[in-house]
Chains A and B, each alone.
Chain A
């Protein structure tokens, strides 16, 4: 039921007691503003951490090789260690149960051209599993598959930006792209969340690359995704075991850090996860802290307002106001102020985040922001708290004998 007169009374009361209304509104707006900004910044921090690891699968282990730095088993220092197909197979067979994905990688730099457009790009020759380890998202066509490997087909999967650069006003899929003088059929186009550089890459089957570039069986890296059922400690132990086995296989000293290197994401992920949990706790503390401060603020204001209006309440009761009308006039005013002020604080908070957000990236705060649901939830909480905080003193005030309220000068 919409009671126009009641609302008129409430708006008059808000309007004529501007200092009181503004002060209480300010408290609430400020609480919501703080909540939005702090939460936004905390979210931004978390985004930075997530972003840093969004590029690759969290369970990846990468094996690199270099030159030996120590003499070992009668072999001189400075020997170049190179991975071959047989090493790739060895890793796969030896650790089969601990591996989810496995791929080799060969790096090249290539001049790519289509019609009159040309540019240099990173070229990666890989196995099909590479797609999952690198989190490559196919937007058109397909990725490298087993048939490509077996038949050494001349196919390429190109990044979104490669297509944008070279294939002006046409689709790349199905066209032939020239890579260092050889024509490759484009069978897929991909996207990657790792940034622009990750989308200026061309993939081809590892077997094709070995045939074209030197007709050998060398590979530059082996990348594996360990079985996700392994926990962090097991994964780290697996990485260490892998390192030891490979060092033995290549006759490399145990303490030679350069010849064979194994980069295990489990180690980084473990510390990042701990960090994320820590951040999560900080966010919760900040959120609850500001909310509680806001609730306490509103409660204080409501008690003060009812105190200030005691005499008015007495007058109204003497003139025939029912207790119910007293409660509703005070409560609705409180809820109205809280809702409007909360909404303003929310808008200002969003505005501030929008404005200063981009300049915060240097401080590891990326895309600071809060979800609408969260902030509206917070505002609702404040409104409900304001209503409860207001209801108790309002109810009390409505029960004051008018004679006592009137004596209150």
Chain B
């Protein structure tokens, strides 16, 4: 599904440069649910951004679903992101002047779908996250958990191969976090491949595999017994 080898990335900071990723090798199979952990500055978000084509690696190989991701132009990246990837962010990143349904339908707009089809699919995915009744509400009228569910619905709308989550529970209280995790686990049960950055042990343990990063290298990569979030809800 996903194969990364010898990935390097550094950022220029003033005159010096900061080597953030120092040769990452990682492969993820279809249907996996992987947590990427590490302290801040370990490079975990950078790794996720490169996988999400929001950022470009300096060197190394990245193959997504058999497709080598290199020489990315902005245009090509946009098409790949739209077709292959769904994003879930810590701060939800909903467009504040669009209602829940319009937010969910936005990736479909960029896929070039007809308006009616977009509405239909958008409603379907909103229904899946249990917010069909909130379709007309603006983000500011929703709670944090609801916003994140709208964001998940949006990530699912384009039917991506890979779901990328950057601290999806970082801005939520524990109870809501578990609700969101329960939902993400369900998606994984249905076969979606999920990659998640987190620094919370309990959240990481709800995944099936934990990759630990420190100072730009993978320290540990192990399968874990998934803790079901449903038992806490």
A interface, CB within 8 angstroms of B? 4-5, 8-9, 12-13, 16-17, 311-312, 314-325, 398-399, 401-403, 406, 409
B93 CB within 8 Å of chain A: yes
The secondary-structure label for the interface of chain A is helix
Partner of A321, one of B52, B78, B102, B154: B78
Q: Known contacts A319-B110, A406-B89: does B98 contact A12 (CB below 8 Å)?
A: yes
Q: Is the CB of A403 within 8 A of B98?
A: no
Q: Is the CB of B74 within 8 A of A318?
A: no
Q: Is the CB of B81 within 8 A of A318?
A: yes
Least CB distance from A33 to B in Å reads: 29
- Could you mark each residue 58-93 of chain B with 1 if its beta carbon is under 8 Å from any beta carbon of chain A, else 0? 000000000000000011001101110001010101
B230 CB within 8 Å of chain A: no
Nearest to B84 among chain A residues (CB) is A320
Least CB distance from A65 to B in Å reads: 84
Q: Which residues of B contact A322 (CB under 8 A)?
A: 74-75, 78-79, 110
Q: Is the CB of B93 within 8 A of A320?
A: no
Q: Is the CB of A17 within 8 A of B97?
A: yes
Q: Which residues of B contact A403 (CB under 8 A)?
A: 49, 54-55
Q: Which residues of B contact A9 (CB under 8 A)?
A: 109
Q: In the assembly, what is the distance between CA of A315 and CA of B86, in Å?
A: 12
Q: Known contacts A398-B74, A406-B54, A406-B89: does B97 contact A319 (CB below 8 Å)?
A: no
Least CB distance from B64 to A in Å reads: 15
Partner of B82, one of A13, A320, A324: A320
B106 CB within 8 Å of chain A: yes
**6 tightest CB-CB pairs across the interface, nearest first?**
A320-B82, A16-B97, A320-B110, A403-B54, A319-B107, A322-B78
B158 CB within 8 Å of chain A: yes
Partner of B106, one of A13, A316, A399, A409: A316
B95 CB within 8 Å of chain A: yes
Nearest to A17 among chain B residues (CB) is B97
Q: Known contacts A318-B81, A318-B87, A406-B89: does B95 contact A323 (CB below 8 Å)?
A: no
Q: Which residues of B contact A316 (CB under 8 A)?
A: 95, 106, 110
Q: In the assembly, what is the distance between CA of A311 and CA of B97, in Å?
A: 13
Q: Which residues of B contact A5 (CB under 8 A)?
A: 109, 115
Q: Known contacts A319-B81, A323-B74, A323-B75: does B93 contact A311 (CB below 8 Å)?
A: yes
Q: Which residues of A contact B89 (CB under 8 A)?
A: 406
Q: Which residues of A contact B74 (CB under 8 A)?
A: 322-323, 398-399
Q: Is the CB of A315 within 8 A of B54?
A: no
Q: Is the CB of B83 within 8 A of A320?
A: yes
Partner of B110, one of A312, A321, A323, A398: A321
Q: In the assembly, what is the distance between CA of A322 and CA of B74, in Å?
A: 7
Q: Is the CB of B107 within 8 A of A320?
A: yes
Q: Which residues of A contact B98 (CB under 8 A)?
A: 12, 16
Q: Known contacts A17-B97, A318-B93, A320-B82: does B54 contact A401 (CB below 8 Å)?
A: yes
Least CB distance from A313 to B in Å reads: 10
Q: In the assembly, what is the distance between CA of A4 and CA of B78, in Å?
A: 22
Nearest to B113 among chain A residues (CB) is A5
Q: In the assembly, what is the distance between CA of A317 and CA of B75, in Å?
A: 10
Q: In the assembly, what is the distance between CA of A5 and CA of B89, in Å?
A: 26
B111 CB within 8 Å of chain A: yes
Nearest to A9 among chain B residues (CB) is B109
Least CB distance from B15 to A in Å reads: 20
Partner of A320, one of B55, B78, B91, B115: B78
Least CB distance from B195 to A in Å reads: 15
Contacts A403-B54, A406-B93 supplied; 12 other A-B pairs, CB < 8 Å: A5-B109, A12-B98, A13-B97, A16-B98, A317-B78, A319-B158, A320-B81, A320-B82, A320-B107, A320-B111, A322-B75, A403-B55
Partner of B158, one of A312, A315, A320, A409: A320
Q: In the assembly, what is the distance between CA of A9 and CA of B87, in Å?
A: 22
Q: Known contacts A323-B74, A323-B78: does B54 contact A318 (CB below 8 Å)?
A: yes
Partner of A402, one of B54, B109, B115, B158: B54
Least CB distance from A320 to B in Å reads: 2
Q: In the assembly, what is the distance between CA of A317 and CA of B154, in Å?
A: 14
Q: In the assembly, what is the distance between CA of A323 and CA of B111, in Å?
A: 14
Q: Which residues of B contact A318 (CB under 8 A)?
A: 52, 54, 81, 87, 93
Q: Which residues of A contact B107 (CB under 8 A)?
A: 319-320
Q: In the assembly, what is the distance between CA of A65 and CA of B86, in Å?
A: 100
Q: Which residues of A contact B93 (CB under 8 A)?
A: 311, 314-315, 318, 406
Q: In the assembly, what is the distance between CA of A8 and CA of B97, in Å?
A: 13
Q: Which residues of A contact B82 (CB under 8 A)?
A: 319-320
Least CB distance from B122 to A in Å reads: 13
Q: Which residues of A contact B54 (CB under 8 A)?
A: 318, 401-403, 406
Least CB distance from A330 to B in Å reads: 14
Nearest to B54 among chain A residues (CB) is A403
Q: Which residues of B contact A323 (CB under 8 A)?
A: 74-75, 78
Nearest to B138 among chain A residues (CB) is A16
Q: In the assembly, what is the distance between CA of A46 and CA of B143, in Å?
A: 65
Q: In the assembly, what is the distance between CA of A3 and CA of B79, in Å?
A: 19
Q: Is the CB of B111 within 8 A of A315?
A: no
Nearest to B164 among chain A residues (CB) is A318
- Residue in A12, A17, A317 with the greatest tally of chain B CB atoms within 10 Å: A317
